[in-house]
Structure 1
Amino acid sequence: MCSIRQVTPFLRMLVATAVLVAAGAAAAAGLNQPGDHRVSLRHGGLEREFLVHVPRTLAPGAAVPLVLALHGGGGDMEHMARDDRYGLITKSDQAGFIAVFPNGFSRLRSGKIATWNAGNCCGAARDRNIDDVGFLRAVIAQVAAQAPVDRSRVFAIGMSNGGMMAYRLACEASDLLRGIMAVAGTDNTQTCSPARPVPVLHIHARNDDRVLFNGGAGAASRDPDLMTDFISVPATVAKWQRLNRTNAAATPILSVPGAICERYAGSAPVQLCVTETGAHSWPGGTKRRGEEPSQAIRANDVMWAFFFGVVSAL
């Protein structure tokens, strides 16, 4: 039996291309089945990848929400999909939504150390002006074409640079999104004119040393690729209050030792949850960045309550 290495370069190219196309088609075709899937697509002249988790609780014929989960700068899709660190696979199975983990732009063939072009941040994706908005539009379209997605309940969430990318999607792809959640990542878009209001949930540690609560460069200034003066949390929240035309005064909705949440009500509410500790991390998770993540709240549970309790009820 002849291996790919034993055929001519031209045939090897044809065989390799056929294998990739077949694998991508097979993965896409299986997106209506519970389990984990790896999918590739070509966008903007680049081969991009994403992971899809279809919940085991998927009921035949049911259309379910889709949650786009965007990793932090320097991370990758596999890291964001690690259930022992972020718990999003478990939450997907519990709540019944399809979780999609796209990979940002990486200069490495492995896809590691990837970033998102979220405007003023971050890294090679920003510097090369990668069309990440277009890529994520294509991801949503491909999953929705192959899986039972409720297109009226598509959400984007992200950690750090991924949260910033979620804000850019809210600015430029509001036609697709029912809401976003940003954890430890403020709105650093260069322009923002959403076609319609987008509900926003923002979660941030008061002692975040990378994306400072009150703005500035933070610890990221030590890395030239990530250097930027991040917009503050208060300025981000005020911006989306203005864009969404929410109530001027916030209503306290949660107060527990180590965390508070308040909401600016309206047809597209803006909610801010602040933890006292945790630094640059995902509350309720296990990924340590300088110190242990806050356990005062769990980002996944707050997300569920906001997206599928508050927003879906509007």
Structure 2
Amino acid sequence: MKRSDGVFARIGVLLLVLVALSGAPAHAGSWVHGNYTSVWGSRGFQLWVPTGYQPGQALPLVVALHGCFQNPDQFAGLSRLNQKADAEKFLVLYPNQATITNGTQCWNFMIATNQERGIGEPSLIVGMVGWVKSRYTVDNHRVYVGGVSAGAVMSSILLACYSDVFAAGMVGAGAMYKAATTASGSAYAMVFGSIYNPDDRGRDAWECSGRPRWQVPVLVLHGTEDTVVNPINGEQVVRQFLQTNDYGDDGANNDSVPYAPTRVWYGSAPGGRAYTVKDYQYAGRLLVQKYELHGMDHAWPGGDPSYLFSDPSGPDATSIMWDFLKQHSR
């Protein structure tokens, strides 16, 4: 054997050793199924572990909350969120509402025990987040939540009461924190808007997280022709979280975060639906953003048309959501 051949052989062995020491190879994206139980009940969940996940590499985590008549598989299919997670490298947690708890699989956002910190369904979802963190490498500064319809209202509750857990969130065709506190009140709010003042609910949300001195970035998407959740609910979400953030910046209700967009712009999906976007910036940061989808009913814009509640003529809500969320860290 030539001396050079021996050198190359030793280099090859060294490379094999380095590969072996580097840990498990990156894997293809996969589902992990689980169940979380506490004194507040038990719920199943599904976790999407993206293609290329490597233990030890901290990734963002998005909690994705399905709407009524949906489950994790259907919401994942509708939103194509797993494909986005594979491309952008983040984990996706899909909590699943139990049919024994709600026959239509709606999150029970209108029940008082589900509107406070440390109890009810929100505590179960946050418990699932803890489960994921204990088994996968999660960037604690980049945990987000977003949902559609009933899942969006639950997202409002989680952003209000656990703003120390979630760095930002999205409310799609949903309603503000404590928009209703009874089943009948919920039905009224969906048709006519909440009877409660968004400014009062803004303070309630701030107090639910313990009166923190930080802010909660929120993206709001709502169709202008939503026949299930009146579009006024989307505007109430904006006002409520602006008020929450007004308290969050300095602890006072002093309009330091004004209820006025800093920018209004317009767009349209190629060959599809037009939309208006209102940006609310604070200290150079996009704090609240609202997409008004012209002519859209109760739907996930840009979703897979083979699933219920899809509006394929709209812009890609999944890309819009991720583009907003990834700007923010706790």
- TM-score (norm: length of structure 1): 0.73
**Percent of pairs identical after alignment?**
25
- Please tell me the residue identity of whatever aligns with 1:55: P
> Aligned residue for 1:185?
174
Matched, 1:300 2:311: no
Candidates 67, 70, 80, aligned match of 1:72: 67
Alignment of 1:280-299 (within 5 A): 280-285=298-303, 286=305, 287-289=307-309, 293=311, 295-299=313-317
Extract unaligned runs of 5+ from structure 2.
1-25, 182-203, 247-256
What SS is found at the alignment partner of 1:156?
A: strand
**1:243 Cα deviation after fit:** 1.4
**1:95 Cα deviation after fit:** 1.1
Following the alignment from structure 2 to structure 1, what is the Cα–Cα distance between the partners of residues 264 and 54? 36
Matched, 1:90 2:83: yes
**1:76 Cα deviation after fit:** 2.1
Matched, 1:311 2:328: yes
Extract unaligned runs of 5+ from structure 1.
1-31, 215-231
> Aligned residue for 1:119?
110
- Please tell me the residue identity of whatever aligns with 2:124: F
Following the alignment from structure 1 to structure 2, what is the Cα–Cα distance between the partners of residues 42 and 72? 21
The structure that has the greater radius of gyration is: 2
Matched, 1:243 2:234: no
Matched, 1:144 2:157: no
> Aligned residue for 1:106?
99
- Please tell me the residue identity of whatever aligns with 1:115: C
Following the alignment from structure 2 to structure 1, what is the Cα–Cα distance between the partners of residues 218 and 106? 22
What SS is found at the alignment partner of 2:44?
A: strand
- Please tell me the residue identity of whatever aligns with 1:41: Y
Following the alignment from structure 1 to structure 2, what is the Cα–Cα distance between the partners of residues 165 and 45? 16
What SS is found at the alignment partner of 1:73?
A: coil
> Aligned residue for 2:277?
261
1:98-125, CA deviations, whole angstroms, 9 ceiling, x for partnerless residues?
Answer: 01100124217xx97312132369xx98
CA contact (8 A) 1:119 1:188 kept: no
Matched, 1:40 2:35: yes
Higher relative contact order (CA 8 A, sep 6+): 2
CA contact (8 A) 1:197 1:268 kept: no
Matched, 1:277 2:270: no
CA RMSD of aligned residues (A): 2.7
What SS is found at the alignment partner of 2:314?
A: coil
Alignment of 1:220-239 (within 5 A): 232-239=233-240
1:245-273, CA deviations, whole angstroms, 9 ceiling, x for partnerless residues?
Answer: 33443112552251121210125701000
Distance 1:125 1:273, change over 3 A: same
- Please tell me the residue identity of whatever aligns with 2:280: Y
CA contact (8 A) 2:266 2:274 kept: no
Following the alignment from structure 1 to structure 2, what is the Cα–Cα distance between the partners of residues 80 and 120? 23
- TM-score (norm: length of structure 2): 0.70
Following the alignment from structure 2 to structure 1, what is the Cα–Cα distance between the partners of residues 231 and 311? 16
- Please tell me the residue identity of whatever aligns with 1:205: G
